[in-house]
Structure 1
């Protein structure tokens, strides 16, 4: 292929004629797509963070009363990753649904399943009422959450990436990532309000169930917000022009499966940090009794705000130095931060709050550019399915087991285990980015 021909293509892989034809038909504005991404993802993160916080504050007493507080949290954290394990399965199933019916049908079923499975947890009897069946049903609903989340992929992030000017891709990429701290902040604020206003008995009897009820209403709002885009003629035409359609998983893995794992490991430092500053500190601080539950939840809300500012900053930085460079630089900063984890988490309230807030700031810088940072390596026709599976495996490899591993190892070997865990994620990210650079140069 001649250098002249390559120069006629934009970074997404289109010639000038193809771009002009696409822009002539696709009328969906990047800002409108970004709003749809934020609203849709916020509902998903809210559902997952409600479950994660409940793993510490609720489930040990409600479903594992026969164990110590530590073992009850560890058993809850063992159920936590089931959704991430089921997520790629859900992606595979619902991709087939979309090929058979439509994107709108798939999204409607997935979001109703996500809301229903989350709300279903609110109706679960405790262990004292039905015994081990309560634990089995909790695990069942958690698996359904993961399957539903896999089916909620709508291609909006990929369409957003392909419809933004090259010099603004970092900025628009971070907009969709804002949904994570927003969802976490709403979930944490709900638990803080209920935990501070109710007695301990009332909170464990019925108060904790309210956030799970709210999840269904939030998912309904998110569904209509996303369908408003997904079912429109302009959106459908834009997706078709960009060739963003589901393909068979086997075909995807056979042709460019290696890119899925390179992309997943490229964001590993960010995803490993994700639950280590959101869910894990709540468990460690609650067990240590250094500060009250309400104070640590308040610090988490402040951290979420700081995380949002970090994500916004990542968009500005990435458009100046590049998305992959931003991701690599953030990974190095996370590595430096990891060395301070034992001192901060093992200190007093001020040190623990500093761990949360500084951690969220670094999470914002890295997570803001983590999604889709290497999905441009996929052939255009493979990008819809490739981006979905890359996201699934990034969560599975980087974040799913983080609370369980961090708490289990920390209680046995000390907080240095958190440092080792984060440093391993940093090493994987830097290696994957180097591999990605070599693959991009070769292709």
Structure 2
């Protein structure tokens, strides 16, 4: 009797270089369009949403209501991260990324079409909040999918650089959102922009659906996920596997440390792109267009700084670069607002530029750092949870907290103290992660020596 034919190779084939580039580009574009849609809301919240959806005799109260709606999106992000993480670790990274893009495109376009309080009454702010929640769910699902599509396709020794391509979506989104708002304001004029021109930037969100179709039809699943699936036995596949349960039982401390390490970054980022926009125009009486232009130029510098910091982390270590950025934010928190309070457009630019440099130094290696904290079987869930916890504690509440602090204390130094507190938490979290990494290296070295001796 002839012997049975040999089984086909079970190893996952290496992706080709053109395929790596295609996937990395698609992941970067997905991140950019998602963050564009997300930031458009933040800019609109600082400039016009309070007047249209939360009418009040107090301008500060209207802005607080708009920023509270902005924060609601952040509260939804961990839910999106958990749901997409569970499914992404079990079904694949690509389907969840496509779903996130579709949700974001529909929600953003819906906000642009939503009638104001004057037309719909109380239904208008309620619908605005619901659409913002969908945006939050979408961006919570998107980051993990896009980040893993890039890092899991990365060649050896370049995971930080490839991960930074997804991180570039943030400054690209900010630059594009500010540019579109500036263009809409210039085309429609001040009165036209206040009444209807502000809606135009939201309609760009429909282009997200085109990108979702492209990724769905032209991009393959990541090699790391395929390999993780291959390693699972048929018996394991038949059982109920819950990455979230595994994370909560065995890796919750790592998730919390990841979130604690990053909260200062996301909080400071939203303070300078949203909170400072409101503070400088409403409190300091600076011209809106000029402040938006400064924000645009400063965000553009991140396009260079983020990949540079990520590439350096591939060479000298992620935590070392990450910690340097956190120390910078701690030291710069007070000078940052001292310069802004001068009401000088030039000094505002200097202040936010230096802040942006420290943010970029942290943000560049962050995707690869979070990916490396977890194994492929639970990576989507773990990395997403860590990132989104930081987003809730830092970014979502930061503009709201900033307005409350300014109203309560009358001084911007209270906002500086808020940033300093988060920076201290970040440095403690980074120190613990570094100690754990050192311990793991020692244990791995001992295992290798034992294997050699035996």
> If the length of structure 1 is used for normalisation, what is the TM-score?
0.87
Number of aligned residues: 420
- In 1, the alpha carbon distance for the partners of 2:165 and 2:400 equals 30
In the alignment, is residue 226 of structure 1 matched against residue 221 of structure 2?
Answer: no
Q: Which runs of 5+ in 2 are unaligned?
A: 1-8, 233-240, 441-454
The question of whether the paired residues in 2 share the 8 Å contact of 1:341 and 1:418 is answered with: no
Q: CA deviation at 1:302?
A: 0.5
Alpha-carbon displacement from aligned partner over 1:142-180 (angstroms, at most 9, x marks no partner): 111112223335634235334434533332232221110
Equivalent of residue 344 in structure 1, options 324, 339, 348 = 339
Change (3 A) 1:243 1:274: farther
Q: How does 1:285-304 map to 2 (within 5 A)?
A: 285-304=280-299
Q: Contact 2:93–2:148 at 8 Å: present in 1 too?
A: no
Counterpart for residue 320 of structure 1:
315
1:395 aligns with 2:398: no
Question: What's the counterpart of residue 420 of structure 1?
Answer: 417
| Residue 263 of structure 1: aligned partner | 258
Query: Contact 1:158/1:387 (CA < 8 Å) preserved in 2?
Result: no
Match of 2:433 among 433, 436, 441: 436
Structure 1, unmatched stretches of 5+, are 1-19
Offset from partner CA, 1:357-406 (integer Å, 9 cap, x none) = 22222222221122242442323322122122222212112211111111
CA contact (8 A) 1:341 1:416 kept: no
SS in 1 for 2:366: coil
| Structure 2: distance between partners of 1:428 and 1:412 | 24
Q: 1:155 is paired with a residue of what secondary structure? A: helix
- Equivalent in the alignment of 2:226: 240
Secondary structure (helix, strand or coil) at the match of 1:65 reads coil
Say if 2:94 and 2:145, in contact at 8 Å, map to a contact too.
no
Change (3 A) 1:257 1:344: same
TM-score (norm 2): 0.85
- Between structure 1 and structure 2, the one with the greater Rg is 2
- 1:275 is matched with 270
User: What does 1:131-150 correspond to in 2, within 5 Å?
Assistant: 131-150=121-140
How far apart in 2 are the matches of 1:155 and 1:120?
24
Change (3 A) 1:228 1:178: farther
* Aligned pairs for 1:108-187 within 5 A: 108-152=98-142, 155-187=145-177
SS at match of 1:239: helix
CA shift for structure 1 position 290: 3.9
Residue 184 to residue 123, structure 1, CA distance change in 2 (3 Å): same
State the 1:314 CA deviation: 0.8
Whether the aligned pair in 1 keeps the contact of 2:84 and 2:381 (CA below 8 Å) is no
Aligned counterpart in structure 2 of residue 410 of structure 1, from 386, 406, 420: 406
- For the residue of structure 2 that corresponds to 1:125, the secondary structure is coil
Which position in structure 2 is the counterpart of 1:17? none
Once the two structures are superposed, residues 85-115 of structure 1 have per-residue CA deviations (whole angstroms, 9 ceiling, x without a partner) of 1122223334565688765554443322211
303, 307, 314: which one aligns with 1:308: 303
Deviations 1:312-361 (A, max 9, x none): 32124323321110010111111121120231111122222222222222
